[in-house]
Amino acid sequence: MNLNSMTLDEKKLLAAELAPLILGEFRATSEMIIPGAEKAVKVKTRAIDTGLISADTRTAFANAETEISNASNFEELKAASEDMAGIVRTILMGHNNE
């Protein structure tokens, strides 16, 4: 199997098939060996069930995306990006550290 010759859809399918195995490996240990290397990397994972993300969070995320798209200057882009980062932080960490 050569990843360079695979289509994007084939890569997505392969990633979906491998994800449960990789996550299982991450949960079993905090180290994962990099294939072809003589070193390990420390990992920490947190599974996110996207079905549990609230409608309010989805709406806030969509609004932040729109604000980023419509930003006409750096300050607007910065503010929208900070909003987006806050939403992502809340989803990933379960809380907002502000």
How far is it, in rounded angstroms, from Cα 50 to Cα 4?
30
Comparison of pLDDT for 65 and 35, the residue scoring more: 65
52-66: per-residue pLDDT in tens? 677 888 888 889 899
Q: Which residues pair with 33 in a beta bridge?
A: 40
- pTM for the full model? 0.44
Structure-block tokens of residue 82: 């900070």
Counting every residue, how long is the chain?
A: 98
Phi/psi of residue 58, nearest 5 degrees: -60, -40
Nearest Cα to Cα of residue 84 among 65, 70, 97, 69: 65
Give percent of the chain above pLDDT 70: 65
How far is it, in rounded angstroms, from Cα 98 to Cα 10?
40
